[in-house]
């Protein structure tokens, strides 16, 4: 990559501002329920500490406080978890900008400082230049390691780079390297697995990758719009009626380009969307009236795995069923287990797909699991991400 990385800049005796993505889920008692994003930032944090900086200043958002101070979105639980991982104190400040923050950073004996939630200030998401400048005054250099927000031009991702020499952290670089593999010269056969609820979410990605992939497997909620476009009865399954013509045209385009589209051939169906609902398996791709498909059936699992077995590169974005309900998780789980055994580069788009892989304890079976759902989707759509574009170019 042509951008500076954290290894390209002098960190000794410098105040280093690192934008992390500590936007972690918590329960009603504010206990962190999934700390993968904190763990993902540790290689960059530990490397910077090894370079003897004057201060390591960490910054992140958490939740959607909408520019106001909201106690439940404080980074206190993150500071506590970080201190446990790093085995040293992490000082959480009461704010992220201002004279008091500068003073505390300067006078504190602690090496690691965590700023309070950036989004307690509305100026963060507005990419306010004055706010970005105040952030920049805290440090000598800036490192972006928050891929999950790289598609947003915010003050802490894009604005601050106008004032400080800026580099990518290890996590950001890893994301770019892997996702670039999916959009550039790819080892073939190259297969795309698409799931999730909406066709509309995936259209730009299909359009960007259809000239590169050899096969597209479509399941999850979006599959039923494609099946309907082929004239298959889908009962009361999820349908984006306004996307039927688009689905037809994508099927036609794939056929012209010799890209095989694989759709489910049986389904796990129920008469209601409920974890305890009675369910049946259809004997074909047709879904009976009054029934909705909530997962792929056993014949589809066998078909998908057979279609994937010779892959050299797999990009997977979107679960194949309602995996959050155990009764409808089998399709996603079985295909995930199968591709974890294939000697291929397996790239998992973030968000729900990453959550599914984590639920099934298969993280270590995949080549790369993206930490940013929206960011990975936009990267795979071929868009430039402002948080990456803004970093300092290598000379």
> Is the same domain home to 257 and 331?
yes
pLDDT digits 0-9 by tens, 319-361: 999 999 999 999 999 999 999 999 999 999 868 899 999 999 9
Looking at the predicted structure, is the pLDDT value of residue 184 above 90? no
The mean pLDDT value for 382-392 works out to 93
pLDDT of residue 97: 97
251, 304 contact by CB (below 8 A)? no
The mean pLDDT value for 125-149 works out to 97
> Is the same domain home to 81 and 207?
no
Task: Establish if 87 belongs to a structural domain.
Answer: yes
pLDDT of residue 1: 52
- Which pLDDT band holds residue 190 (cuts at 50, 70, 90)? very high
> Is the same domain home to 192 and 71?
no
pLDDT of residue 197: 84
pTM over 0.85: yes
Task: Establish if 24 belongs to a structural domain.
Answer: yes
Which of the listed residues 171, 190, 213 is the one where a domain comes to its end? Answer: 171
> Is the same domain home to 208 and 344?
yes
Q: By C-alpha distance, which of 213, 222, 214, 175 is closest to 194? A: 222
pLDDT over 90, % of the chain: 88
Q: The domain spanning residue 14 has which CATH number?
A: 3.40.50.1260
Task: Establish if 388 belongs to a structural domain.
Answer: no
- Which pLDDT band holds residue 2 (cuts at 50, 70, 90)? confident
227, 296 contact by CB (below 8 A)? no
Which of the listed residues 112, 141, 171 is the one where a domain comes to its end? Answer: 171
pLDDT of residue 255: 94
Task: Establish if 1 belongs to a structural domain.
Answer: no
Residue 317 sits in which domain range? 178-380
> Is the same domain home to 214 and 195?
yes
Task: Establish if 391 belongs to a structural domain.
Answer: no
Sign of the torsion formed by the C-alpha atoms of 134, 137, 141 and 143 = negative
| 3-class SS letters over the chain | CCECEHHHCCCCCCEEEEECCCCCCECCCCCECCCHHHHHHHHHHHHHHHCCCCEEEEECCCCCCCCCCCHHHCCHHHHHHHHHHHCCCCEECCCCCCHHHHHHHHHCCCCEEECCCHHHCHHHHCCCHHHHHHHHCCCCEEEECCHHHCCCCCCCCCHHHHCCEEEECHHHHHHHHHHHHHHCCCCCCEEEEECCCCHHHHHHHHHHHCCCCCEEEECHHHHHHHHHHCCCCECCCCCCHHHHHHHHHHHHHHHHCCCEEECCCCEEEECCCCCCCCEEECCCCCECCCCEEEEECHHHHHHHHHHHCCCCEEEEECCCCCCCCHHHCHHHHHHHHHHCCCCCEEEECCCHHHHHHHHCCCHHHCCEECCCHHHHHHHHCCCCCHHHHCCCECC
> Is the same domain home to 88 and 196?
no
pLDDT of residue 122: 97
> Is the same domain home to 145 and 195?
no
On average, the pLDDT of the chain sits at: 94
Looking at the predicted structure, is the pLDDT value of residue 191 above 90? yes
- Which pLDDT band holds residue 93 (cuts at 50, 70, 90)? very high
Task: Establish if 112 belongs to a structural domain.
Answer: yes
> Is the same domain home to 133 and 254?
no
The mean pLDDT value for 188-197 works out to 94
> Is the same domain home to 126 and 50?
yes
> Is the same domain home to 117 and 50?
yes
Sign of the torsion formed by the C-alpha atoms of 286, 297, 330 and 345 = negative
pLDDT digits 0-9 by tens, 242-289: 999 999 999 999 999 999 999 999 999 999 999 888 999 999 999 999
pLDDT digits 0-9 by tens, 13-44: 999 999 999 999 999 999 999 898 999 999 99
Structural domains counted in the chain: 2
> Is the same domain home to 272 and 350?
yes
**Dihedral, CA of residue 208, residue 249, residue 251 and residue 375, to nearest 10:** 30
Report the phi/psi class of residue 287: left, alpha or beta, with left for phi > 0 and alpha for psi in -120 to 50. Answer: beta
The mean pLDDT value for 97-105 works out to 96
Backbone angles phi, psi at 372, to 5 degrees: -130, 110
Annotated catalytic residues are: 37, 198, 351, 374
Distance CA 229, CA 246 (A): 9
Distance CA 165, CA 392 (A): 6
Task: Establish if 306 belongs to a structural domain.
Answer: yes
> Is the same domain home to 339 and 205?
yes
pLDDT of residue 202: 87
Provide CB contacts within 8 A for 381, sequence distance 6+: 204, 205, 207, 208
Provide CB contacts within 8 A for 328, sequence distance 6+: 268, 279, 294, 295, 321, 322
Distances (CA, A) of 268 to 194, 196, 221, 321: 18, 16, 12, 9
Exposure string for 206-229, b = 16+ CB within 10 A, e = fewer: beebbebbbbbbbbbbbbbbbbbb
- Which pLDDT band holds residue 224 (cuts at 50, 70, 90)? very high
Which of the listed residues 171, 197, 224 is the one where a domain comes to its end? Answer: 171
Task: Establish if 385 belongs to a structural domain.
Answer: no
pLDDT of residue 351: 81
């Amino acid at each position: 990559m042509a951008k500076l990385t954290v290894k390209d800049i002098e960190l000794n005796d410098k105040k280093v501002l690192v934008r992390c993505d500590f936007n972690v889920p918590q329960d009603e008692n504010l206990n962190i329920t999934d700390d993968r994003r904190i763990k993902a930032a540790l290689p960059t944090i530990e490397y910077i500490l090894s370079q003897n900086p004057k201060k390591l200043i960490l910054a992140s958002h958490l939740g959607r406080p909408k520019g106001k101070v909201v106690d439940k979105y404080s980074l206190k639980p993150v500071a506590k978890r970080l201190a446990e991982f790093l085995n040293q104190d992490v000082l959480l400040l009461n704010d992220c900008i201002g004279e008091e923050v500068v003073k505390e950073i300067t006078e504190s004996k602690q090496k690691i400082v965590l700023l309070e939630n950036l989004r307690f200030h509305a100026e963060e998401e507005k990419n306010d230049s004055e706010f970005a400048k105040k952030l920049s005054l805290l440090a000598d250099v800036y490192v972006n390691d928050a891929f999950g927000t790289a598609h947003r031009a915010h003050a802490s991702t894009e604005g601050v780079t106008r004032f400080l020499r800026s580099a990518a952290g290890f996590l950001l670089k890893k994301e770019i390297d892997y996702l670039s593999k999916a959009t550039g010269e790819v080892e073939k056969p190259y297969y795309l697995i698409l799931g999730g609820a909406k066709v509309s979410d995936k259209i730009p990605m299909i359009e960007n990758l259809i000239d590169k992939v050899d096969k597209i497997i479509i399941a999850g909620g979006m599959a039923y719009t494609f099946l309907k476009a082929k004239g298959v009865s889908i009962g009361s399954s999820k349908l984006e009626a306004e996307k039927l013509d688009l689905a037809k045209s994508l099927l036609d385009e794939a056929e012209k380009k010799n890209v095989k589209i694989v759709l489910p051939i049986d389904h796990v169906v129920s008469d209601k969307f409920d974890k305890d609902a009675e369910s049946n398996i259809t004997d074909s791709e047709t879904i009976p009236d009054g029934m909705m498909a909530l997962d792929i059936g056993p014949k589809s699992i066998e078909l998908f795995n057979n279609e994937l077995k010779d892959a050299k590169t797999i990009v997977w974005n979107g679960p194949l069923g309602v995996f959050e309900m155990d009764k409808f998780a089998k399709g996603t789980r079985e295909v995930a287990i199968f591709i974890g055994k294939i000697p291929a580069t397996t790239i998992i788009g973030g968000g729900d797909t990453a959550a599914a892989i984590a639920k099934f304890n298969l993280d270590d079976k995949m080549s790369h699991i993206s930490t940013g759902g929206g960011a990975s989707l936009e990267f795979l759509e071929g868009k430039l991400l402002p948080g990456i574009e803004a970093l300092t170019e290598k000379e």
